[in-house]
Amino acid sequence: MATGSKTAERDDDVESREAVVERLLASMTWEQKLAQLQIGYRPRLEEAKELVRAGIGGVFWPRSAAAANELQRAAVEETPHGIPLLIGLDVIHGQRTTFPVPLAQAASFEPGIAETDARISAAEAASGGVNWTFSPMIDVSRDPRWGRVVEGFGEDTRLNSVFGAAKIRGYQGDSLADDNSILACAKHFVAYGQAEGGRDYNTVDVSVQRLRNIYLEPFRAAVDAGAASVMAAFNTVSGRPAHVNEDLLTKILKEEWGFEGVVVGDADGVQNLMAHGVATDIADGLGQSFRAGLDVEMGGNVVDTDGNTPLSPAEVPLQRVDDAVRRVLRLKHSLGLFSNPYRDEASEILAPSGQSRAAARHAAEKSIVLLKNEDALLPLDPAPKRVLLVGPYAASSDHLGAWVQSFAEPAGTLAEAIRAECPDWSVTVMEGSPFFQSDPALLDAAVAAAAEHDVVIVAAGEPSALTGEASSRSDLRLPGGQEALIAAIAGTGKPFAVILFNGRPLVTSAWIDLAPSVLEAWHLGLEGPAAVARTLTGAANPGGRLPMTFPRSSSQIPIYYDHENTGRPASISATLDEGDIDVGLMGPDNLGDVFTSKYKDLPLGPQFSFGHGLSYTTFSYGQPQLATEELPLEALHSGTKVSLKIQLTNTGNRTGDEVTLLFIHDRTASLAQPVRRLRAFTRTSLDPGQTKTLEFSLGWEDLGFWDNEGSYLVEAGEFDIYIGGGLDDTAHHVLRLTQ
């Protein structure tokens, strides 16, 4: 089996597995071996069956347990070796029960949310015959123009590592042989999140140190967590497409990290090598990919339905092909497919259960971020009042998010959820603006209606169709007439709150100062509307934090918290005064600070930083206690940890959650270091007046960095350690590492 203790097999299982694998391998022809090295997609069952009869090793899920059984039966009964199938599907944030999109889950800063999602999703998917998911996506994402930021865990490396590992544990469970376990797939290997201009599939050119420090780390954590598979990315990495990148697929992943699972290509990623201009034809692409370390091609180009392959034994060493086949067969064995590849059709889970809905609701509530709350406008008390709910999301059911499964349970609307949650309110629902155009008549009607109501809730956002794969955007403002709607509602003088439903950071600068209260509600899945309704009334208290920076302008991208200082950092105190542009100053009031790193026409810093998020209660921190202020490097290297304690108190009058973030800054090093790096985080729920002591520890793996030669260095010197509720609000200590 793949690596990692969670999915480790007993010695006798391994022995029998190896015996089965070697027996098969010894009797397979070149073509039969290659047939195992692909996963094919054919929407029609009969066509999929033809591939299976030709000996293909994996197929995409044919949509039911009965159909999956039919394909397994064809594989077992109608092929010479009777090898069962891997059956794959993108089970990303739910199968029947849809959880919040991964970016929203990251906002919970509670990895247990991701693990529970994966566990429930695995059980639902496995019951229908799926045994392999192409999840989690752990591409560190610092460019919100890229639509796929929604599928991952945001801009921070540690957050991606921790959430990715949690997902893998959830999908794979304690043992792959369990009925409810499926193979996980860490994707996309690697640096896909750095596509130039945020344009999907675009070029990635990256230094070794950045590749290792930022993009590879979550994959290393995934391998440590026992990920059974890893998917090669579509992009080039410094000129070489990931699919044919031996340095990445073999040297780093398999040799340096000891990854024993399967490297799968992305959909038609081998075919795309011709467009990349590195392969002349499919045979050339396949040959290069397998030689570089790819084990399974996604698309089905390796063997045709007659079982013939364009690859000759001269193109890929037999040893390499045998290694790939072994990896595939071992996974099949670990899943228990050789003993029983069939599912009980009567037990297929076709709809959410009460329990899975409750988990999805919990996850949705934990993922909401309170961006602003002037004069504590929120929560709204449930006492009778006239509420105008306006905006394209008021009556929309588009809550499931980017990887919505066509067969998933549909979500309801916010209007329905608010009416159910607050039966004493009189709620008027209006569109105000369509998603994509302006409509003055709708706008005027909304403004007129506002006068007749006590409070207005604007439900605005970015439809999920604008997020996900191939959904890059150059302008991150709310689409259509939504900004005008918010401004018009602000103009009425009525108290109002904005709720945002979106799958990426948005640019809110045109209206954010006009809105007293703003809730970031992402695409929260099946139970999203109910979670939002409960948060509006205070039945749930928001405690999520932003996992990605919200820029002031799309032109400020990429912008992320763990940037380098530069040789000429600008003063962070400068702001853009409203009148500056009118008087021709064209910039923040730090223009005297001429030769510093900034934009002349923007205030410094983002609109909302990574880690930002408020609550309906308040928290305070005590003085942090660092167990030691000085430590020899040698002690750190041999396992000594630096421990840190801090007291957290809920000083408000509601139960609530606080996310505590621990950042470091290596003051002087041989390579420029980020101004802050998140090393640990925890989320704590406290009752009013309750205090808890939080404990963290920092070790060798937390205090070093990778250099451009691929070495991991921990250097002597001073480290700032910041701990608290966010980037601005942090107590500070200095740790000295000595030679």
Selected binder of ligand BGC within 179, 260, 315, 469 (CB under 6 A): 469
Between 267 and 328, name the residue whose CB sits nearer to ligand BGC: 267
Give least dist CB 40 to ligand BGC, A. 12
- Write the DSSP assignment of 196-209 as a string of letters: GGG-TT------HH
Between 98 and 615, name the residue whose CB sits nearer to ligand BGC: 98
Q: Does 42 bind ligand BGC (CB under 6 A)?
A: no
| H/E stretch holding 698 | strand 691-698
Omega of the bond leading into 410 within 30 degrees of 0 (cis): no
Report CA-CA distances (Å) from 96 to 71, 415, 696: 22, 23, 37
Give least dist CB 79 to ligand BGC, A. 24
Give least dist CB 63 to ligand BGC, A. 14
Give least dist CB 55 to ligand BGC, A. 22
Contact 685, 660 (CB under 8 A): no
| H/E stretch holding 368 | none
Q: How far apart are CA 419 and CA 406, in angstroms?
A: 27
Contact 676, 661 (CB under 8 A): no
- Point out the residues that are catalytic: 266
Binders of ligand BGC in range 305-364 (CB under 6 A): none
Q: Which residues contact 440 (CB under 8 A, 6 or more apart)?
A: none
Report CA-CA distances (Å) from 165 to 157, 213, 223, 506: 12, 17, 9, 28
Q: How far apart are CA 66 and CA 339, in angstroms?
A: 18
The count of chain residues that interact with ligand BGC, using the rule CB under 6 A, is: 6
Question: One symbol per residue from 368 to 407: x for binding ligand BGC (CB under 6 A), - otherwise; what is it?
Answer: ----------------------------------------
Give least dist CB 39 to ligand BGC, A. 9
Helices 440-450 and 482-491 pack at an angle, to 10 degrees, of 30
Q: How far apart are CA 151 and CA 138, in angstroms?
A: 8
Q: Does 134 bind ligand BGC (CB under 6 A)?
A: yes
Give least dist CB 135 to ligand BGC, A. 8
Q: What single-letter amino acid sits at 268?
A: D
| Phi and psi at residue 654, to the nearest 5° | -135, 150
Report CA-CA distances (Å) from 573 to 3, 584, 598, 674: 49, 21, 12, 19
Give least dist CB 636 to ligand BGC, A. 38
Give least dist CB 133 to ligand BGC, A. 9
For the record, the structure tokens of 582 come out as 């009118």
Contact 154, 367 (CB under 8 A): no
Binders of ligand BGC in range 253-272 (CB under 6 A): 266-267
CA 585 distance to own-chain centroid: 41
| Burial environment of residue 298 by CB neighbours within 10 A (0 to 12, 13 to 18, 19 or more) | buried
| Of the candidates 393, 372, 446, the residue with the CA atom closest to the CA atom of residue 613 | 372
Q: How far apart are CA 50 and CA 48, in angstroms?
A: 5
Report CA-CA distances (Å) from 675 to 118, 272, 355, 563, 737: 34, 38, 43, 6, 18
Between 235 and 428, name the residue whose CB sits nearer to ligand BGC: 235
DSSP code at position 211: I
CA 228 distance to own-chain centroid: 18
Q: How far apart are CA 642 and CA 631, in angstroms?
A: 8
> Quick one: three-class SS letters along 8-39?
CCCHHHHHHHHHHHHHHHHHCCHHHHHHHCEE
Give least dist CB 178 to ligand BGC, A. 23
Give least dist CB 410 to ligand BGC, A. 21
Binders of ligand BGC in range 177-216 (CB under 6 A): 187
Selected binder of ligand BGC within 4, 24, 90, 453 (CB under 6 A): 90
Which residue is it, tokens 């603006």? 433
Between 266 and 527, name the residue whose CB sits nearer to ligand BGC: 266
Between 266 and 702, name the residue whose CB sits nearer to ligand BGC: 266
Contact 130, 182 (CB under 8 A): yes
Q: How far apart are CA 289 and CA 47, in angstroms?
A: 26
Furthest CA-CA distance within the chain:
82
Between 267 and 443, name the residue whose CB sits nearer to ligand BGC: 267
Cβ-proximal residue to ligand BGC, closest one? 134
Residues making contact with ligand BGC (CB under 6 A): 90, 134, 187, 266-267, 469
